[in-house]
Amino acid sequence: MANQNSALSFLSFARTALNLQSAAIFLLIFVVVFKLFRRPKNLPPGPWRWPFLGNFVALTRSGKHIHEVLAEWAQQYGSVTSVGLRPAGDPAIVVSDSSIAKELLSKQGEHHVERSWTPLTSKIEDIQGSFLWSKGETAKESRRFGLGAFRKMGVGKKSLEHRINEEARYLVERIEAEKNRPFDPNLLIHKAVSNIICSISFGSRFDYDDPKFKKLLDSMRVVFENDGLSSWGRTFPFLYHTPFLAKLRECVRFVKEYIQTVVQDHQDSYDENDFRDIIDILIDDIKGKEQIGSRVGTGPAPTITHQHIWRGIMDLFGAGTDTTSNTLLWLISIVLKYPEVQEKIQQEINEVVGSDRQPSCEDRPSMPYTNAVISEVQRVRPVAPFTLPYATTQEFQLKGHTIPKGIKVIINLWAMMNDPKVWDRPEEFNPGRFLSKDGKKMIQHEAFIPFSTGRRSCLGEGLAKTELFLFATNLFQRFTFKPPPGASKPELKGILNLTFVPESFTVRAVKR
């Protein structure tokens, strides 16, 4: 009897297992068929997308960066393509033409695209208060406020130039202390550049040896590494709540708590007659709109509430540190590979600036070659190969194709600035493409948009251009950068995180 009951139990278990297996197979077939039949009609062309996987396998097995693969597909299928970027995701529209990008992102554009959050970004922290990720009218107001705040803090004025040159002197002193020994310039340059946005945002700079400063920079590096287009965190955002991304969660928590502490200190010591930084300007903006609302019953809502000030400051701190720092690192690694470029920069510095004073923004018009080198670095190795993502807010027609509502839009800046149809031999580093025939004037190119374009172009473009010129000229005025003895020249392949960064390298800074 017991054996019979055991046999019946086993048969029951087997039937249950088979039913579950059948249900799983049916569900998988249903998902695949559903995905196949719900594909929007008349999408732009693109490579064949596997059911469920999309083009994920082709992108990850190519051995190239995603922006390079997407640029190659643009050459094959057209400047507007549809691509399945991640498993189980809908296809995205990839734009690789600057004129189309400007049309989509212009302030008067007829097409309706809006900022889209990445799957991971929305899990990391609340978006409210963000300068980068805000949408609609909030985004317009945030941009207006941000540009005004930068002007109040000296962007475009002599006061900021003096601040950058002062920081450049600190950087030069620390590099001199290496005494021609090989060193990794990454952290030093990040500290110097970060201190500019820190002084604008927090009201003060950090000492280079401050351990909290190093932890802030390390934490933001982890955030950028895990929110890139090719990162596992963005591909599989559910991992954020698993041990795999525990370090990321800890880094976000540290940055948030630090900035919240600074904000609270500012709120406690706020003086409406003395604005120290952007935090004070934000507090004033919020208080002003609250007072209007209390007087008339209704009034304009604050751009950022008190409890979300930290989020906007985190945006400024991260973006203001990473992009300019890595452009300078790309510049140094490139002159290691092309020493003749460094010689020409130094010759121009000798002729225009000399050695008895620091460079000034007033020198920029007289230094076309140096400006051309900086532009060519941004073209060939843009730290932002993509803009932040967008999504459509309604269906529209684009170049004869139907772009559905709610579909992701990726703007491939790298493809635009490395398009062989636009640039002669784009893979070559050639500052001359930005110079007139006599080498005395800069040439503007429509397809050169390293800071993006339109209503969501980089908020800190003016600040970044000033920093790049002054830091670069200060460094090349005082040093000649050389590879360590026996070291090979950099390959310039780079690492794609949220931004495109050079691989770690060491250098000798020989004092001039």
Q: Are 401 and 44 in contact (CB under 8 A)?
A: yes
Separation CA 375–CA 433 (nearest Å): 10
Separation CA 81–CA 76 (nearest Å): 10
Type of residue numbered 60 = T
Q: Are 220 and 255 in contact (CB under 8 A)?
A: yes
The string of DSSP letters for 87-146 reads TTPPPEEEE--HHHHHHHHSTT-SS-EEE---TTHHHHS--TT-SSS--HHHHHHHHHHH
Separation CA 82–CA 95 (nearest Å): 9
3-class secondary-structure state, position 83: strand
The string of DSSP letters for 361-428 reads GGGGGG-HHHHHHHHHHHHHS-S-SBPPPEEESS-EEETTEEE-TT-EEEEBHHHHHT-TTTSSSTTS
Separation CA 245–CA 234 (nearest Å): 11
- What's the angle, vertex CA 214, arms to CA 321 and CA 245, rounded to 5? 85
458 annotated to bind ligand? yes
Q: Are 40 and 404 in contact (CB under 8 A)?
A: yes
Helices (H) and strands (E) in the chain, counts: 17, 11
Q: Are 415 and 96 in contact (CB under 8 A)?
A: yes
> Can you read off the two tokens belonging to residue 459?
């908020």
Binding site: residue ranges? Answer: 458
Binding-site residues from annotation for heme: 458
